[in-house]
Chain A
Amino acid sequence: MHRSIAIVGAGPAGMAAAIEAVRRRCRVTLIDEAERPGGQIYRQAHPALAGEEHAERAELARKHALIERFERVAGQLDYRAGATAYAAFGNGELHISERGRTEVLRPDATILATGVRELAVPFPGWTLPGVMFAGGAQAILKSQKVLPGARAVVAGCGPLPLVVAAQLLRAGGEVAALALLRPLTGMLAHPMSLWHGREIVRDGFRYAATVRRAGVPRLTGYVAVRAIGTECLEAAVLARVDGAGRVVPGSEREIPCDLLAVNYGFVANSELAAMAGARMRRDPVIGGWIPEVDAWGRTSIPGLFTAGDGAELRGALVAEADGTVVGAAAASPDGAAEASPGSELASAIAQRARHLEFQQVVRSTLRLPMELWRLVTDDTIVCRCESVRFGEIKDALANGHRSLNAVKRNVRSGMGWCGGRTCLHAIASLVELSTGSAPTEMMTPRPMARPVSFAALARRSPT
């Protein structure tokens, strides 16, 4: 009896899981919102937009190798490109919408490989057009072949700002400044772990060389504190922060720009797992609220797995190896596979462990000091969808409403179009900053993960 597996997300984890599940003779349905596989990190441009990707050769080689492996088996699975999983339930149902119709899948197992989105740290002026997440600017550059700004300031922490600055330069853009919360050279203190990610480290040095050759001012220990402009961004204000993350008065520098690309880390797209009732835990560095999983990717809901960054921020190399492992597990009736020595599965498990060692080093660059959240002033918009300012949230906290649900009921944060994706992590951190303790519970996860029309809900395909 061939097990049926539904996989949500066609990024590295989803593709690897699909390949493995097909290899194990499962009936696989792969659901992904984009028209082509790749997810975010391996996003593919439309074939008509061929050309330079400005990424390092090794990364491109990994991307193309995986995509090719996937394309070879794509015909053996039910690949629903342009489909959306809008709800998952504890009874094993996965609800999807595709081109104006909906369908209820009841697979033997579901793998959520939904990846991450960028973590938002609000600051005054951040809602001006021209202020983007660095990864978003990169997506426009990589897959749309459009320079998202003529003169950029790139800021944040971790490896992504450096990569984006270099790619912008390679595409012919100007980068007026690169501001990093911490120097990346801190990673060099862990040579053994770095060795496991030596290809990535080498790529990193090459990106750094691009930035250096262009003479981009590098401001280490600086963050973006304000965006200035009336109709759009006109300038970014950077300031130095001390070891605790507090802005040093008098250190502000105003830099004219039309793009401010910021990244402070990532948040897992864990809404479907939470909605299905999986037990969650919170770790702000590796994705915020993430499902509790074991080494096989099993959540607390039988038959529900998560793989890749959607389970825990670990990067593309871990995601690919993890996808293989979780795909194998989901293909087995008891959710755990046989990994005999020398087998491909054992090799994937070992690879995953090696790449994870490197990731631990990367994680150290993504820790945000609590004081950094003081960038958010009372007038700063925190929930962009509902235009809720931090001052309103503070009032709710002062009135004793501490949980994210209670704050939501009081000020409407999280009730808009994005379902809290942009603001929830910020609100949780701001609650911790203001009250001394972080909320333990997420905002109650409920359908829909994406808006779907009544007409589509009524046009249900028979199962």
Chain B
Amino acid sequence: MPSDFTFSFEGKPVSAREGQSVAAALIAAGERCLRIDEAGSPKGAVCGIGACWECRCSIDGVPDTRACMTPARAGMIVRRQRGLDPCIDQ
């Protein structure tokens, strides 16, 4: 896949093209599980339009950011949230 830059997801580099959302780039990289909810269940993108809030991640230290609505940027630090832990300690 053509790539313009990389960002980090759980410490690993992920390729993205300019204009792609964090969710799309992660799906393209084979990362479907975007968070673990309070019940311990893995969750990923569902609605693609920002309505369901299932794809929320910690993005550059800001918790609960919808990955499908956030354009990926070079050097972004994206982390999976586990339960209520918002991963603000990058």
Residues of A within 8 A of B (CB): 33, 40, 45-49, 117-118, 127-133, 135-140, 144-148, 231-233, 258, 269, 381, 384-385, 387, 416-418, 421-422
Contacts and interface: CB of A to CB of B under 8 A. Distances in A.
A33 B70 CA distance: 11
Given A129-B32, A136-B48, A136-B49, A46 B39 contact: no
Contact of B18 (A48, A129, A416): A48
B78 to A, nearest CB: 15
Contacts of A232: 32-33, 42, 44
Contacts, number: 109
Contact of B25 (A46, A146, A422): A146
B58 interface: no
Contact of A140 (B19, B38, B41, B45): B45
Interface string B63-80: 010001101000000000
Nearest to A126: B46
Contacts of B43: 127, 129, 384
The A contact surface, by secondary structure, is loop
A129 B19 contact: no
Contacts of B60: none
Interface residues of B, number: 37
Contacts of A130: 32, 44
Interface of B: 1, 4, 17-21, 23-25, 27-28, 32-34, 37-39, 41-54, 56, 64, 68-69, 71
Contact of A117 (B28, B33, B37, B49): B49
A133 B47 contact: yes
A20 B68 CA distance: 32
Contact of A139 (B20, B37, B41, B48): B48
A269 B54 CA distance: 18
A117 to B, nearest CB: 5
B67 to A, nearest CB: 11
Contact of A127 (B28, B34, B41, B68): B41
Given A140-B27, A146-B20, A132 B48 contact: yes
A82 to B, nearest CB: 10
A373 to B, nearest CB: 19
A28 B75 CA distance: 38
Contacts of B50: 33
Nearest to A47: B19
Nearest to B4: A48
A456 to B, nearest CB: 13
A40 B48 CA distance: 10
Nearest to A150: B30
Contacts of B38: 387
Nearest to A132: B46
